[in-house]
Amino acid sequence: MTTLQNVIDRIQPVSGEWRQKGRDYMANLATPPGALGDLLLLAEQLAGIKQTLKPSVANKVVVTMAGDHGVVVEGVSAFPQ
């Protein structure tokens, strides 16, 4: 079984070169500039992480974290703790 530390140890910096390649690739798509909104930024980031223009995301994980960081105590939250 892969431990969390093994996964962390394999994390590499995002490649600026591949982010640029992703940006250039998407600039040549047949869509108006900015039409896909933040999806283009996500695709650019993914290209930089995976270092390819056609990354696979077959083994994905979603991690959700939350905290109130004192906003409930301050009375500025619209939601109860």
Average pLDDT over all residues of the chain = 87
Per 3-state DSSP, the chain is made up of helix, strand and coil in percentages (nearest 5) of 45, 0, 55
- What is the sign, positive or negative, of the torsion defined by CA atoms of 53, 62, 15, 58? negative
Across 22-33, average pLDDT: 89
Between 2 and 74, where is the model more confident? Answer: 74
Domains of the chain in start order, with CATH, are: 4-74 (1.10.1610)
Instruction: Please tell me whether the overall predicted TM-score, pTM, comes out greater than 0.85 for this model.
Output: no
C-alpha dist (Å) from residue 66 to 11, 21, 38, 63: 23, 34, 22, 10
Give the model confidence (pLDDT) of 56-80 as tens digits: 878 888 888 887 777 777 878 777 7
Residue 29 in this model has a pLDDT that exceeds 90: no
